Amino acid sequence: MQSMLAPLDASRRRRVVAAAAAAVAFAFLLVVLPGPTRNPGALGVAGAVGVLVVVLAASWRCSPVLARVGTPAAFIALVALLIDSGGGTSSGYGGLFLLPMLWLASLGSRQELVLGFLFVLLARALPLRIVGEPRYPSSAWRAAIVLGAVAVIACVTIQELLRHARVRGGQLAERAVALEQARAQLEEQNRQLRDLDRLKTEFLTLVSHQLRTPLTSIKGYLELLTGEDGEPLTPTQHRFLTTADRNADRLTTLVNDLLFLMQVDAGAIELHLAPTDIGELLHSTLASAAPAAAAKGVLLAQEGAGPVLALCDRGRIVQVVEGLLANAIKFTPAGGRIAVHGLRVVGGVEIAVSDTGIGIPPDEQEQLFDRFFRASSATSGVFPGTGLGLAIAQSIAEAHESRIVVESTPGRGSTFRLLLPAA
Ligand code: ADP
């Protein structure tokens, strides 16, 4: 049991000495109150014992056991002397016996507490037995038993509560250590992840740059072969070279998309904001997309007329609309319709691209703007793509402090909307 008692640090030791001194001072303060006969001799001895109480409490550093048990024992003797000097049972000092009991309940072991009870019992019983009437009438036995019982219950309860608190404290300390270890582990994992992320970015940048140069050269030679100045080609050769050219275009787009996203990650997207006529912007973008739409057999239409001015980076917004239009054309079957509008609405200028295409399953719409995500409706069909277009469009929207939102019904079509500040 003893070993379970935690050693006291310097500040608690100081508090313990202060508590002992305060208890002695309190006991002597009571002497000045009017009361029955005083025995100056016993009072003198009590004074010396009072000093001893404080000295014993102060000895904690050299001898914790002596301080823990000796201090309350001396205080019990002090109370007995004060009772005697104050005229016996009627002196009113009896309640002071609780103080050393509380001391042992909070600082001592269970055995030390029992020892304390025995001291108190002795200090109460001896005068009753030896000195007796009239200063120690037999009726005082009852008071002694009541005080003893109350002290036992209170002190044991206190000791149990403290024991629980210490156990919980220990558990909490263990938890804190475990949490600290987990935190350190997470920090290390975080560092490793950051390193990996940096490596990934460096790798992608390197690969993208390395791909760009040969791609430009491939494209150049393909153009020479298929161009008007090239040698005459057989229809099969022409078909092969056109396929190669188309795939070189796709690879160029992918490399450009990856490089663009790397710029986004590096926070290097610069916007040149200026009042922009969205009606005109949509008109010219629609014109560029017209051949692809015609080839697919879908109708392109612009809704709303007249200039609508928004504050944005024209080049970037063209990039967004081109991407949305390309998707709309790609995912709309022949005979379908694509409509765009740029409208002044509450809070700004809304750009919307709607189609009557295959739509997107509702449970996948939230991930649509994640990099490399392709909805099951796209992957289950024959739609080529990388899943980067919408991520790029969204990062451009975010750079404009906006967001692209989507509404879509599978089999019926989709609408992508973007709100820009009005100019
Ligand atoms: P990609 O078109 O290269 O697959 P995007 O990032 O542009 O990649 O689009 C991600 C996914 O969102 C597409 O694969 C497709 O599933 C879905 N999607 C985008 N636009 C449409 C649309 N207009 N209609 C139906 N699905 C679309």
Nearest CA to 328 out of 340, 319, 316 is that of 340
Q: Is 378 in the pocket of ligand 1 (CB under 6 A)?
A: yes
Listed range (19-23, 302-306, 322-326, 337-341) with the worst mean pLDDT: 302-306
Q: Model confidence over 346-385: pLDDT tens digits?
A: 989 999 999 999 999 999 999 999 999 999 988 887 888 8
**Residues 180-214: tens digit of each pLDDT:** 999 999 999 999 999 998 888 888 788 878 888 88
Q: Residue with the nearest Cα to atom 20 of ligand 1?
A: 327
Q: Cα–Cα distance between 248 and 26 in angstroms, integer?
A: 97
> Residue 2's pLDDT is what?
41
Q: Which of 397, 392, 353 is nearest to 370 (CA)?
A: 392
Type of residue found at 24: V
Q: Which tokens go with 222?
A: 């393909």
Give the nearest ligand 1 atom to 375 CA: 16
**pLDDT tier, 223 (very low <50, low <70, confident <90, very high otherwise):** confident
Q: Is it true that the peptide bond before 134 is cis, omega within 30 degrees of 0?
A: yes
Choose the residue to mutate in 331, 332, 371, 409 for probing ligand 1, maximizing ligand atoms within 8 Å of C-beta.
331
What are the tens digits of pLDDT across the range 114-128? 999 999 988 888 888
pTM: 0.59
Q: Is the CB of 332 under 6 A from ligand 1?
A: no
The predicted-structure confidence for 90-115, as pLDDT tens digits, reads as follows 788 888 999 999 999 989 988 999 99
Task: Compare 259 and 71 and report the one with higher pLDDT.
Answer: 71
The CA distance from 65 to 112, in Å, is: 9
Q: Show Cβ contacts of residue 247 under 8 Å, excluding neighbours closer than 6 positions.
A: none
